[in-house]
Amino acid sequence: MLSALIRFAFIVCLAFIAAYVCLIHWGALVAITAGIAILAIPLVYSYINLARLLKYAQDDKVESIPLPSGYWEVVYFRLQRLVRSLKLQIRSIEQQHNRFIEAFQASPNGILMLDGQDHIEWCNAIAERFFGLHFKRDVMQRINFLIRRPEFIQYLTRRQFEEPLLLERMGPDSNLSLMLQAFPFGDKRHLLLVQDVTDLQKADAMRRDFVANVSHEMRTPITVLMGFLETMQSLDLDKAQQHQYFDMMMSQSQRMKSLVEDLLTLANLEANTLPAPLQVINVDTLMALLKNDAQALSQNKHTFEFKSSTPLNLMGEEREILSAFGNLVSNAIRYTPDAGYVTAHWQVNDQGQGEFSVMDSGPGIASEHLSRLTERFYRIDRSRSRDTGGTGLGLAIVKHIANRHQAQLIIESVPGKGSTFTLRFPKERLTALTT
Ligand SMILES: Nc1ncnc2c1ncn2[C@@H]1O[C@H](COP(=O)(O)OP(=O)(O)OP(=O)(O)O)[C@@H](O)[C@H]1O
Ligand SMILES: [Mg+2]
């Protein structure tokens, strides 16, 4: 401020001296003109610098104005420093904002920000997918105009957001179950968090089905057993009849025992997610065991062929492999009518993978059942399967054992001709070693 005053005083003095000198030599008119001209110098200087500032400001280039000398240098310098620091602040706020947006976008949950009137202020891509929204198109639209489910509209109107809301059959293919909850924040705003609970809902449904199936499977033999016991209590039976009843009770107990055993096997397999160990399993010995069991089960009613066309052995958990191979062989026998053929074959295919396949000349399986056979308790013909003592857990066990051995279970079947069940093991599980 002081330097500005000194400058101003200097110009005034200069103008006064010049006017005085001119007055002495050339008269009053020249003196006034010279005085005004000298006083106008700082005005012109200021005007030029203002005009430059305006031009750079219009192009948003205030930071790059070349600094003039004199008083305006300070003005430019201060302005440039202010603009630079403001721009830095804006950039850092923008970066922070972008990071928030990126974090919200990375969230596996749908996120919507609603203003006080439930207009969508922002939503992430997951929320767009869940509700078929398009942020650019739907921004500032009222959410209840876009999500028309009555339960959702009711949830919004009631404004009691302590509990979440479950919306089923949502999404483009109506296959999503969504759990959403609104959380108040800021000035009457709400954050709507949406979670995909489809898998949880499915697991819950599966658990309910499972309990229902187990209870159903147990109820039949228990009811039959109780019936027999009541009969034996109330009737005076002779020895032969008693034996007959005991046999029938034994078979029902056996049925319950095998169901419980299968359930335990499944539970153990499900709990054990590690890959099966690499113990060498002698496939020839295994085939001999399987053949013995098969003949006992069939009681000479079927024709068998058990062949091995490779000297290679398999590496895995012997007990599990025996159970998986045995399940496939016993299915082939149980579902193939008397006088049918059953062939079990161990070989290495063209890709070097080990294959154990069981082929039968049974009734075959219609294609709509194929993909569901490995579901727990899935049976094509419940009554027929129950007649043969089946619980519908065998192939589920086989599938788990296959997974633990990185193997694939391939089911091919031609209705009326027969079926082939193949377990395909990766090369890494084959070995020339023997036990
Ligand atoms: N070789 C086969 N031929 C025709 N149908 C088969 C064959 N193997 C399995 N199935 C069908 O697949 C269903 C499921 O088989 P799975 O082995 O899982 O159960 P199960 O044999 O009924 O009972 P479990 O094996 O637990 O005693 C069977 O009920 C049967 O209908
Ligand atoms: Mg079975």
Tell me the pTM. Answer: 0.66
Whether 386 shows a pLDDT value over 60: the answer reads no
Best of 385, 398, 401, 420 to mutate for ligand 1, by most ligand atoms within 8 A of CB?
385
Q: Would you say the CB of residue 397 lies under 6 angstroms from ligand 1?
A: no
The model's confidence at residue 181, banded by pLDDT at 50, 70 and 90, is very high
Q: Would you say the CB of residue 360 lies under 6 angstroms from ligand 1?
A: yes
pLDDT in tens, 231-241: 888 988 888 98
Answer yes or no: are the C-beta atoms of 359 and 418 closer than 8 Å.
yes
| pLDDT recorded at residue 383 | 64
Cα(346)–Cα(312) distance, rounded to whole angstroms?
Answer: 9
Give the lowest-confidence range in 91-100, 170-179, 193-202, 341-350.
Answer: 170-179
- Beta carbons within 10 angstroms of residue 221's beta carbon: 18
CA of 209 relative to ligand 2 center, distance in Å: 20
Cα(407)–Cα(410) distance, rounded to whole angstroms?
Answer: 10
Q: Would you say the CB of residue 262 lies under 6 angstroms from ligand 1?
A: yes
| pLDDT recorded at residue 398 | 96
Stretch 195-224: mean pLDDT, rounded?
88
| pLDDT recorded at residue 214 | 87
| pLDDT recorded at residue 220 | 82
| pLDDT recorded at residue 327 | 95
CA of 336 relative to ligand 2 center, distance in Å: 12
Answer yes or no: are the C-beta atoms of 124 and 110 closer than 8 Å.
yes
Query: What is the share, in percent, of the chain residues with pLDDT greater than 90?
Result: 67
Pairing between β-strand 341-348 and β-strand 303-308 as defined by DSSP bridges: parallel
| pLDDT recorded at residue 388 | 62
Domain boundaries, the chain: 2-100, 107-196, 202-270, 273-431
Class level of CATH domain 273-431 = alpha beta
Domain 202-270 bears CATH identifier 1.10.287.130: yes
CA of 392 relative to ligand 1 center, distance in Å: 6
Q: Would you say the CB of residue 380 lies under 6 angstroms from ligand 1?
A: yes
| pLDDT recorded at residue 387 | 63
Minimum-distance ligand 1 atom for the alpha carbon of 360: 1
The model's confidence at residue 385, banded by pLDDT at 50, 70 and 90, is low
Q: Would you say the CB of residue 394 lies under 6 angstroms from ligand 1?
A: yes
pLDDT in tens, 49-105: 889 888 888 888 888 888 877 778 888 889 899 999 999 999 999 999 999 999 999
Of 7 and 190, more confident: 190
Minimum-distance ligand 1 atom for the alpha carbon of 397: 18
Stretch 263-276: mean pLDDT, rounded?
89
Query: What is the share, in percent, of the chain residues with pLDDT greater than 70?
Result: 98
Mean pLDDT of the chain: 91
Best of 395, 398, 399, 400 to mutate for ligand 1, by most ligand atoms within 8 A of CB?
395
What are the angstrom distances between the C-alpha of 345 and each of 256, 305, 310, 379? 32, 8, 10, 25
Give the lowest-confidence range in 50-59, 172-181, 381-390.
Answer: 381-390
| pLDDT recorded at residue 384 | 57
Q: Would you say the CB of residue 192 lies under 6 angstroms from ligand 1?
A: no
Domain 107-196 bears CATH identifier 3.40.50.2300: no
Amino acid at 380: I
